[in-house]
Chains A and B, each alone.
Chain A
């Protein structure tokens, strides 16, 4: 299972990708055939396909979740609402729907770090984080997150204090989990817009931490 089909490998890992180009063209042909047949038979509308892609390319992505986290950092009442009824609190910012129908927010603390996985498929909170990254759906992540989460975190360059407990949430049902990362020190009085810039996608899955104000991960 490849984390990247034809893109660069940012961390220089060298996997055997000898078959990649034939697999790629095979996929392109397979998907083109499916699309042609479905459109010709009238089962799907071509402009609906374009509208779906446009939605997930431009409107639904991890900046939505970053705004939710920033609001929770800035507003204790919102944070309490998010912890009690995440679906409603998130909907109040205009996010909800497919693959986010039943949301739960889990909060990182100095004692406990949360990490979200779907070992059985690719369950992921789309309205707040967008489409899952390839690594989230990869065998490497799905197999190891539940047995060796510290090893997974190391792949992301994250080392937690040994005493910090790790709490892994395997999304085996229709509940979707959003990690509320710890607010970096030195951000007192920041606007929600500025705070949202510190919230990375990975920090909301639990494979990362929020950025610290100096630019490096906190």
Chain B
């Protein structure tokens, strides 16, 4: 969807403000937001693409005025509501008022290290050969779906070169909506600065995205 998350090429947000690498959190609530988001995700009720879509579905003005942990917290509340795990009344009161629903898993402290170290594999076995080879010239499609997609607007309808064939990966556009993983070949596609940004673009700039096969056509 063309939400506020799709920021590439926008202007007017001011300078980037560096911060020291020893600074992990700015406030205690950020730690708690991180922890509840990861622990709730570990229930296995939604997948990473579902949650990304819930975050980008925040109203644009709200998304753009929130810090990232605030986006996480608001999206977590919305996801829990959408899946019927909490009620609006509970969120208003700040306490449980109804019995829990059964969930697939509850992450225990003893399993945290193991779970984080395992991660989640998104690569799947190939069932068909890749349509494009390294070095192929491709063009990204132009589409504006209302559903989740990982093809940013600035890279739609652009000619690029396949720099790497990464393997077959879960397709977020369907996985986000629990319509199945429908794995596809994933490519790193490189574009020149002038192809993306036209007149006045830095000729020494190239930008790549990682694009699923259905985002691409031969050019």
Contact = CB atoms under 8 A, between A and B. Distances in A.
Interface of A: 1-7, 9-11, 13, 15, 23-24, 27-38, 40-45, 47-53, 55-57, 60-62, 96-102, 104, 119-122, 130-131, 133-135, 137-150, 152, 155-156, 162-175, 200-202, 207
Interface of B: 5-11, 13-21, 23-36, 38-40, 43, 52, 55-56, 64-70, 73-74, 76-77, 80, 85-86, 90-91, 93-96, 99-100, 103, 106-109, 111-113, 115-123, 150-152, 154-155, 164, 166-167, 169-170, 172, 186, 188, 190, 196-197, 202, 204-212
Given A43-B40, A165-B206, A130 B24 contact: yes
Given A34-B73, A35-B36, A170-B8, A51 B113 contact: yes
Contacts of B70: 23, 27, 30
Nearest to B151: A172
A206 B201 CA distance: 20
A166 B191 CA distance: 12
Given A52-B35, A130-B24, A31 B73 contact: yes
Given A36-B96, A38-B80, 4 more contacts: A5-B67, A30-B70, A38-B40, A98-B119
B109 A48 contact: yes
A98 B21 CA distance: 20
Q: Is the interface of B mostly helix, strand, loop or mixed?
A: mixed
A9 B94 CA distance: 33
A90 B161 CA distance: 28
Contact of A49 (B5, B19, B36, B209): B36
Contact of B108 (A48, A145, A166): A48
Contacts of B169: 102, 173-174
16 contacts: A1-B65, A13-B14, A33-B93, A38-B36, A48-B39, A62-B21, A98-B120, A102-B122, A119-B6, A134-B19, A134-B26, A137-B68, A156-B18, A167-B206, A168-B206, A201-B21
